[in-house]
Homo-oligomer: A and B are copies of this chain.
């Protein structure tokens, strides 16, 4: 009855962009077009200068006719409240049989009229910031298949990007792989997942076990990480995710020019070696074979001529493959994973 499961989204998506006209505010929508174009049927823009993601412009009616199953709010809410125009369009989408999917702070249940519309047309209102009500307590029991988890020196250092790029590189190499989402944008891209930072704290590792279930022997789950064991605000999330993921391998993600913890500016970031060591030590509670296979560095803040020396030096320090996946790709990580003889 109350089966524990991830949040599952119905594709294809119509991406709602509204009147938002700066790309930063539309990065959720842009991420969908980049990482899961096969799930995107079109975009809905309400102004001539609204952000254009380069996919087909559609009305709700056109999208419904084209088979869209969800309206995904692909923008951040600039300036607070959902306005009347948005309310009307979202209600029309629900009335036309589309699930509504949102990562906004404002709950869809607070959009005027939307609960009634959704109820009468039988569609779902999915706030991807909300965790499922029913989740299991973590068991620590070993599962089949292989897992690689992104960890990091801080929040927002490229864990989602690295996981997505690594999943693609594994697939390109002919290896079965699935991106596993633990945050809202990742969930929209994957079409399922659990926003692990919204789970009640007793259930963090149980949620992580649910996100990455048992799988085939040769299959890799590539799990989006959250936070850092060195982040005083969020380390509990990171530890529960680490234990529940039971990773065979971790990739440490880092921003080359980040010096202090984003949420706690008086805290210095750990060294990469300290970060690897503590994450592995904790990971080995639930998977004694866990190893670190590389470091993923966002080098966009470095001058171009400092990029390679930085990565070379880090590689010497750690004895590991160190790459910027946006520049160098993730093939080197794939080789490291294959060298584990588990692929």
Chain A residues engaging chain B, CB cutoff 8 angstroms = 131, 137-141, 196-202, 204-206, 229-230, 232-241, 243-244, 261, 263-264, 266-267, 278, 281-282, 285-286
Sampled A-B contacts (24; CB under 8 Å)? A137-B263, A138-B232, A138-B234, A138-B263, A138-B264, A139-B232, A139-B263, A140-B233, A140-B263, A140-B264, A141-B264, A197-B202, A198-B200, A199-B200, A199-B201, A200-B201, A201-B236, A201-B237, A202-B234, A204-B237, A205-B236, A206-B233, A232-B243, A232-B286
Q: Contact at A230–B285, with CB atoms within 8 Å?
A: yes
For A206, give the chain B residue with the smallest CB separation.
B233
Please name all residues of chain B whose beta carbon is closer than 8 Å to the beta carbon of A138 when the two chains form the complex. Answer: 232-234, 263-264
Q: Contact at A201–B240, with CB atoms within 8 Å?
A: yes
Known: A140-B233, A140-B267. 13 other contacts (CB 8 A): A137-B233, A138-B233, A139-B232, A140-B263, A197-B200, A199-B201, A200-B200, A200-B201, A201-B204, A202-B234, A235-B239, A235-B282, A236-B237
What is the bound-complex CA distance between A243 and B235, given in angstroms? 8
A277 nearest CB across to chain B (Å): 10
What is the bound-complex CA distance between A261 and B285, given in angstroms? 12
What is the bound-complex CA distance between A131 and B140, given in angstroms? 26
Query: Copy number of this protein in the oligomer?
Result: 2
A33 nearest CB across to chain B (Å): 28
Instruction: Name, among A138, A140, A206, A236, the residue most crowded by chain B CB atoms within 10 Å (CB to CB).
Output: A236
A304 nearest CB across to chain B (Å): 34
A74 nearest CB across to chain B (Å): 23
For A198, give the chain B residue with the smallest CB separation.
B200
A269 nearest CB across to chain B (Å): 12
A134 nearest CB across to chain B (Å): 13
Q: Given A232-B285, A232-B286, check contact A237 B278 (CB 8 Å).
A: no
Point out the residue from B205, B234, B244, B266 that lies within 8 Å of A141, measured CB to CB.
Answer: B266
Please name all residues of chain B whose beta carbon is closer than 8 Å to the beta carbon of A240 when the two chains form the complex. Answer: 201, 235-237
Please name all residues of chain B whose beta carbon is closer than 8 Å to the beta carbon of A199 when the two chains form the complex. Answer: 200-201
What is the bound-complex CA distance between A230 and B239, given in angstroms? 11
Point out the residue from B202, B239, B266 that lies within 8 Å of A239, measured CB to CB.
Answer: B239
A53 nearest CB across to chain B (Å): 29
What is the bound-complex CA distance between A203 and B23, given in angstroms? 30
What is the bound-complex CA distance between A46 and B249, given in angstroms? 59
What is the bound-complex CA distance between A13 and B204, given in angstroms? 34
Q: Contact at B233–A236, with CB atoms within 8 Å?
A: no
Please name all residues of chain B whose beta carbon is closer than 8 Å to the beta carbon of A235 when the two chains form the complex. Answer: 205, 239-240, 243, 282, 285
Please name all residues of chain B whose beta carbon is closer than 8 Å to the beta carbon of A140 when the two chains form the complex. Answer: 232-233, 261, 263-264, 266-267
For A244, give the chain B residue with the smallest CB separation.
B232
For A232, give the chain B residue with the smallest CB separation.
B140
Q: Contact at A202–B232, with CB atoms within 8 Å?
A: no
A307 nearest CB across to chain B (Å): 30
For A234, give the chain B residue with the smallest CB separation.
B202
Point out the residue from B131, B204, B230, B232 that lies within 8 Å of A236, measured CB to CB.
Answer: B204
Please name all residues of chain B whose beta carbon is closer than 8 Å to the beta carbon of A263 when the two chains form the complex. Answer: 137-140
